[in-house]
């Protein structure tokens, strides 16, 4: 059988600054500000205050996309900045995958925090993130990262099936059962872990 009939996807490479958490020459660069995070934090008034005080960047995602098809692997660099909304640490919105039966790997490159995960039935858990720690997010689990560092960004490399997509599902209405706060100088996970 001749390979000449196949429509091969061309190999390519991407340059990543592991320290600053920046993908050089990304095709997609998503920047989420505090104002994009309405409804996600426990203290809505504190978020409003932050938006009025300059609407700082919460997180950035860099991608060079590949076809959203089975067989391909999508990947990204996620850079979540340090900070708090009231006492709650900065976090990403979090999502399920549109094709729910797809997993994801996060390899933490810099900083410290948590990956908070939950199922649609409300089962929730957290895995610690720090440089060199890899978190496996199994199929069906929604996932959100939280930066608990005082001054460093939380930088991760993620990879997931090309067809996975993103789905906010019940996150915008119900949030995650676990939240991460600073209480009296300590990092505290609050909520139901099951």
Residue, CB closest to Fe ion? 104
Cβ-based nearer residue to Fe ion, 26 or 50:
26
User: 55-114: which residues touch Fe ion (CB under 5 A)?
Assistant: 104
Burial of 34 (0-12, 13-18, 19+ CB in 10 A): buried
Q: How far is the CB of 95 from Fe ion (least distance, A)?
A: 6
Query: What phi and psi values does residue 84 have, to the nearest 5 degrees?
Result: -140, 150
Give least dist CB 182 to Fe ion, A: 26
Given the complex with Fe ion, which of 63 and 104 has the nearer CB atom? Answer: 104
For residues 137 and 106, the answer to whether their CB atoms sit within 8 Å is yes
3-state secondary structure of 94: coil
| 192 beta partners | none
Q: In terms of CB distance, is 84 or 93 closer to Fe ion?
A: 93
User: Is the CB of residue 90 less than 8 Å from the CB of residue 160?
Assistant: no
CB nearer to Fe ion: give 57 or 105: 105
Q: Which is nearer to Fe ion, 71 or 138 (CB)?
A: 138
Least separation, in Å, of the C-beta of 87 and Fe ion?
27
Minimum distance of Fe ion from residue 193's CB (angstroms):
21
| In the complex, least distance from residue 36 CB atom to Fe ion, rounded to whole angstroms | 17
Residues 6+ apart with CB under 8 A from 140: 96, 100, 101, 119, 120
Q: Is 139 left (phi over 0), alpha (psi -120 to 50) or beta?
A: beta
Among residues 50 and 135, whose Cβ is nearest to Fe ion? 135
Count of residues interacting with Fe ion (CB under 5 A): 1
DSSP codes, 124-143: EEEEEEETT-EEEE-TT-EE
Q: Shortest Cβ distance from residue 46 to Fe ion (Å)?
A: 27
Nearest CA to 81 among 30, 155, 136, 14? 155
Question: Please, which of residues 128-187 interact with Fe ion by CB under 5 A?
Answer: none
Q: Give the interface with Fe ion as residue ranges (CB under 5 A).
A: 104
């Amino acid at each position: 059988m001749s390979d000449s009939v196949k429509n091969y996807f061309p190999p390519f490479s991407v340059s990543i600054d592991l320290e600053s958490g920046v993908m050089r020459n990304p095709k997609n660069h998503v920047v989420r500000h505090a104002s994009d995070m309405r409804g996600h934090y426990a203290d809505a008034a504190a978020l409003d205050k932050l938006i009025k005080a300059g609407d700082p960047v919460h997180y950035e995602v860099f991608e060079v996309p590949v076809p959203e098809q089975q067989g391909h692997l999508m990947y990204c660099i996620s850079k979540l900045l340090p900070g708090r909304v009231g006492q709650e640490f900065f976090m990403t919105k979090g999502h399920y995958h549109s094709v729910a039966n797809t997993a994801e790997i996060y390899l933490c490159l810099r900083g410290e925090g948590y990956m908070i995960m939950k199922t649609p039935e409300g089962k929730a858990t957290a895995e610690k993130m720090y440089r060199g720690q890899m978190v496996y997010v199994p199929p069906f689990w929604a996932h959100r990262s939280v930066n608990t560092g005082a001054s460093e960004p939380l930088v991760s490399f993620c990879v997931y099936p090309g067809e996975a997509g993103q789905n906010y599902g019940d996150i915008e209405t119900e949030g995650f059962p676990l939240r991460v706060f600073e209480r009296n100088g300590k990092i505290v996970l609050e909520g139901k872990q099951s």
